[in-house]
Structure 1
Amino acid sequence: MRVIVVGAGEVGSNIAASLDDDHNVVVIDTDPDRIDAITYAYDVLAIQGDGTSIETLREAGIADADLVIASTDVDETNIVICGAAKAVGEPFTIARVKKTNLLRTWEQSRGAFGIDFMVCTDLQTAETIVRIAGLPGAHDVETFAGDLVQMAEFEIESDSPIAGETVSEADRFESLTFAALLRDDDIVIPQGDTVIEAGDAVVVIGSRESVRAFAGSLTPEPTLEDANEIVIVGGTEMGYQTARLFEAEGLEPRLVERDPRRARELAEQLPGTMVLQSDATDIDFLVREHVDESDIVVAALESDEKNLLVSLLAKRIGVERTIALVESGEYVDLFETVGVDVGVNPRLVTSEEITRFTREQRTENVAMLESDRAEVLEIEVDAESVLFERRIQDAMADLPDGVVVGAIGRAGTLITPRGETVVEGGDHVVIFVETAVIDAVTSAV
C-alpha cells in the first residue's frame, strides 16, 4: 500500500515508523530539518514541500496513493490537504484535528471536506485518561469483543506483592491470562514457572472483573467507581473533555481553572462538575480545598512544566494517584520517574489511533503496546483461519513464536483459553502478538 503522510512532527514520525516496514511510505513536511531527520531514521521517501500543494502531492505520487494521512499541527491545513488529495486522486484520507467541534461537524456529514476518517486529539486523549483512571495502577487499558474482554498493562514495583513470584503463583484469578512481560527491551512470553521481576510491565487479558481484581491486588488505589474525589487541573479543551467524560460515568469531578472567563464558560457547560476559579499551583489553595483528600488528580494545563509541578504538589500533599498530560513524548518516562503515576502524551495517543485504524482493515480491533513493540488483536475466526475448529495447542504449532491467545468471546460469553480449548467459527479471539511477526499472524488467523 502506498501511504502519504503529511507532517513529520511527533505524530507523523510515529505513524511513519509504524508503517514503513509493510508499506511504501512517503512523508511530506515544510521543515528541512525534519525531512533530514526522518530520512535517516526510517525507510521512507521524504519530500520537503507544502502538503496543500497539488504539485507537491503529485511529486509524492498521489495518483497511486492508497492512503493519505494529514497530521500537521494545524487543523485547517489538515482539512485542506485531504480535500486537495481527493481533487487529484482517489486515496482514503485521514485527518488529525484538535478541535472537537470540527469532529462533530464531520460526524454529521460523513465525507465532508474530503475526509474519510477523522481523529480528534483532545477527545482521544480524554478517553485515554478516563480509561486509565478507571483501573488503578494501569498504564494502558483497552477493551475488546464488545467490552467483554479487557487488556491492561501494569508496571511491577519492587514492593509489589507479585514481584518475585512465578506466573503460576501470581495467577489467582478465574478469567485472566498473563499474555506477556515487557522487560527492558525484551518481550517475555510467560510460562507457569516464569518469575515476575521488579521493573517488568505485565500485560494481562481477561474479563473486566478479573482484570480489576488483579489491579486491586497490586495497589490499594481506588477504582473509578470507588473514587470519591477527582480533581482536574486546567480548563483546556482536554480538561473540559475529561470532565465531560467523567460526568458521563456518573461522577462529579472538580475542575480548577485560573482564568475567570473560562471558568464561567466551563461552569455553564459542565452541570455535574464543580468549577473552581483559582491557581492550582498555589499549595495553600490545594490544602484549603482539600485536594489532598482526592483519589485522582488529572493535570491538564497548557504546558508540561505546569503539569509536572501540579502533579508533584498533589503527590506531596497526599493525593493517591496523578495523571498528567505530557506534550513532549520524550518527557513521559521522566515524568513517571520523578513521581507522576501516569503520563499521557496526546501526540502518541493520536498516532496510535491512526495507525490502529490502518491495521483494523485486517482485524476487528487493535491495541498497540510500548510504542508499537507489540499489539493485541481481536480476530473473528472463519474457515480460513488456522485456529478454525482446532485446539489452541495444535494451532499454535502453526504460528510463530511471540503469540499468546488471551481470551475468546463466543456469543456474548467469555471463554478463558487453555491448550485443550477448541476455537469455533465466529469466535472473537483476542491475541497478543509481537510486532515483528504481526504480518505472519494476521495472514494466518
Structure 2
Amino acid sequence: MKIVIAGAGDVGFHLAKLLANESQDITLVDVDGDRLLHASQHLDVATVKGSSSSFMVLEQAKVNKADMLITVTASEENNLLTASLGKQMGAKRTIARINNSEFLQNRDRFDMRKLGIDELISPELLATKEVKRLLKEAAITDTFEFERGLLSLIGISIEEADHLHNKTLKETAYLNPYFDFLTVAVLRNNETLIPRGDTRFEAGDHAYYIAKPEGVERVLQLTGKKLEKKIKSIMILGGSRVGYYAARSLSYKYNIILIEKNKEKCFELADLLPNTLVINGDGRNVELLEEEGIENVDAFIAVTGDSETNIISSLVAKNHGVRKTIALVENMDYIHLSQNIGVDTLINKKLIAANFIFRYIRRGEILSLTSIHGVDAEVLEFVVNEGAAITEKPLSELDFPKTAIIGGIIRKGKAHIPKGDFLFYPYDRVVVLSKPECIRKVEEFFK
C-alpha cells in the first residue's frame, strides 16, 4: 500500500513508524527539512520537502498513486485543503486532522466527502474518549473490553507486598487454578516484555492481563488491589479543548469541578457547561486545590497546555489521596514515565490520534486494535477465517511469533483463556498482544 503523510510532526512520525514496520510504501511531506532528515534517519520512508497544499509538491510525492493520503500538519486549513486537492489528483482515500469539532458534530449537515475528504479526526475528541475509558475503574490503570466484557485487558502495578512479587509465572501458576486470566505483557523500566514461564515479577513492574470477568477480581486480589467504589466526583484542571470536551461528556454521569486560570474563559465555560462547577484559579496553587476539596474527589484529570503543570498537579492530587489521576502531556517520551513517577496514566493526544489512524487503515483485516500507554505493543482482535493457518495445529505446535502472545478467545458468546493444547476453529474471535514489528506475521495466521 502506498501512503502519503502530510506532516512529519509527532503524529505523522509515529504513524509512519507504525506503518514502516509493516513494509508499507511511505512518503512524508513537510516544510521542515530537519523533521524530514530525522524521519529518514530513523525510518524506512521517502521524504518530500515543501507545502502539502502545493500541486507540485503533491505531484512529487506521487499522490496520484496513493492508496491513502493522511494530512496531519498543525494547520487545520492546510489539512483540509491538502486532502481535497489530493483526492482530485487521484488519491484513493483521504484522512484529515482537524481542531474544530463542529465538523464532526455536524456530519449530517455537511458531507465532507463532497470535498474529497473521506475521514476527519480530532485529537482532542479522541483524547476525551480515552479519558472516559480510563475512568472506568480506579484500581486498574488501563482497561479495554472485548465483546462487552466477555474478555478484558487490564493493567496493574506490582508492589513488594503483592503475592506475585519476586516470583516467576511458573511459580505463580497455582494462584490461577481456573485459568481465567493470562499475563500478556510486563512493562519494566520502559522496556516491554512478552512474558514466558521464567519471567519474574519485580516491584515497580506494570503487568497487563487478558481476563474473564471472574479473572479480573482474582488478578486484583493477587496484586493486593480491590474493586473500589465507582468514581463519582472528578476535578478537571484546565479549560482547554480536551478539558471542555471532557467536562461536557462527563458532567451527566459525574460531579465535575473544572479549574481554569483565565477569567474570561471561565465565564465562557460556565455558560457552556451548566452542569459543571467552574472555578477561576491557578491549579499549581496547592492551597486552592485543597480549598476546592481535592481530597474528596475520586479522580483528577490535568489537561492544561503545560505538561509539567499537569504532571505536578496530578502528583499533588495523588498525595491527597485521589484514587485516579490522568495527565495530558505534549512530549511522547513522557508516556513511559507514568508508572515510575506516580501518576496513574499519562496520555498524549497526538499519539492517540496516530494510533487511531493506524486502526482506520487496518480496518477490515483486524476487528479492533488498541494501544496500551507506554507499552511498545498493540492489542488486536482477529476473526479466524475458514482454512486459516491457525486452525491447522494446537497452539503449542504453531510457529507463532515470540514477540506476540494470544491472550484470549471468544467462541459462540463464551470466553476462553488458551493453553498449549487449545485448538482454534473458524469464526473464533482471538485477542492478541503483538509487538508492532510482527503484526504482519501474526495476521498471516488468520487469513
Shift of 1:152: 2.7
Q: Does structure 2 conserve the Cα–Cα contact (< 8 Å) formed by 1:18 and 1:372?
A: no
What whole-Å deviation, never above 9, does each CA across 1:378-398 have from its counterpart, x for those lacking one? 11112132233864344xx24
- Specify which of 363, 366, 372 is matched with residue 366 of structure 2: 363
Query: 1:344 is aligned with what amino acid?
Result: I
Over 3 Å counting, the alpha-carbon distance change for 1:189 and 1:339 in structure 2 is: closer
Deviation at 1:227, TM superposition (A): 2.1
Give 1:120's aligned residue: 122
- Could you tell me how far apart the structure 2 residues matched to 1:299 and 1:190 are? 37
Matched residue, 1:377? 380
Residue of structure 2 in register with 1:326 after alignment: 329
- Residue number in structure 2 paired with 1:287: 290
Query: Aligned with 2:94: secondary structure?
Result: strand
SS in 1 for 2:59: helix
Shift of residue 204 of structure 1? Answer: 0.9
Aligned length: 440
Q: What amino acid does structure 1 have at the position aligned with 2:354? A: S
> Cα distance 1:337–1:432, how it changes in 2: closer, same or farther (>3 A)?
closer
Seen in structure 2, the aligned counterparts of structure 1 residues 42 and 142 have a Cα distance that, compared at 3 Å, is same
Matched residue of 2:143: which SS? strand
Aligned-residue Cα RMSD (Å) equals 2.7
| Partner residue in 2 for 1:439 | 440
Contact residue 259 and residue 280 of structure 2 kept, 8 A: yes
Is the aligned partner of 1:265 residue 2:268?
yes
The aligned residue for residue 16 of structure 1 is: 16
Q: In the alignment, what sits opposite 2:6? A: 6
Distance in 2, Cα, partners of 1:398 & 1:110: 45
Q: Partner residue of 1:54? A: 55
What is the CA distance between 1:363 and its match in structure 2? 1.0
Shift of the alpha carbon at 1:9?
0.6
CA distance in 2 between partners of 1:5 and 1:87 (Å): 16
Q: SS in structure 2 opposite 1:118?
A: strand
Are 2:193 and 1:187 aligned? Answer: yes
**1:288, distance to aligned residue in structure 2 (A):** 1.8
Cross-structure match for 1:424: 425
Identify if the C-alpha distance between structure 1 residues 356 and 156 changes in structure 2 by more than 3 Å, giving closer, same or farther. Answer: farther
2 CA distance for matches of 1:308 and 1:227? 21
The 3 A distance-change label for structure 1 pair 187 and 240 is same
- Give 2:255's aligned residue: 252
What residue identity is the alignment partner of 1:188? I
Equivalent position of 1:111 in the other structure: 113
User: Helix, strand or coil for the counterpart of 1:363?
Assistant: coil
User: 1:344 aligns to what?
Assistant: 347
Cα separation, partners in 2 of 1:172 and 1:135, compared to 1, 3 Å: farther
Gaps of 5+ in 2: none
Return the offset for 1:336. 5.2
Of 238, 245, 270, the match for 1:241: 245
Q: Distance in 2 between matches of 1:55 and 1:87?
A: 14
Give yes or no for contact 1:324–1:343 (8 Å, CA) kept in 2. Answer: yes
Q: 1: CA distance between counterparts of 2:205 and 2:90?
A: 47
Distance 1:30 1:219, change over 3 A: farther
- Preserved contact between residue 145 and residue 428 of structure 1 (Cα < 8 Å): no
CA distance in structure 1 between the partners assigned to 2:231 and 2:445 by the alignment: 43
Tell me the TM-score normalized by structure 1: 0.89
* 1:134 corresponds to 2:143: no
Residues 36-185 of structure 1: pairs in structure 2 closer than 5 A: 36-106=37-107, 109=111, 111-167=113-169, 168-169=173-174, 171=176, 175-184=180-189, 185=191
* Cα contact 1:180–1:203 (8 A) shared by 2: yes
For residues 8 and 282 of structure 2, what CA distance do their matches in structure 1 show?
35
Q: What CA distance in whole angstroms lies between the structure 1 residues aligned with 2:177 and 2:260?
A: 44
Identity %: 27
Normalised to the residue count of structure 2, the TM-score between the two structures is: 0.89
Contact kept, 8 Å, 1:95 with 1:119, in 2: the verdict is yes
Amino acid across the alignment from 1:187: L
CA distance in 2, matches of 1:120, 1:67: 18
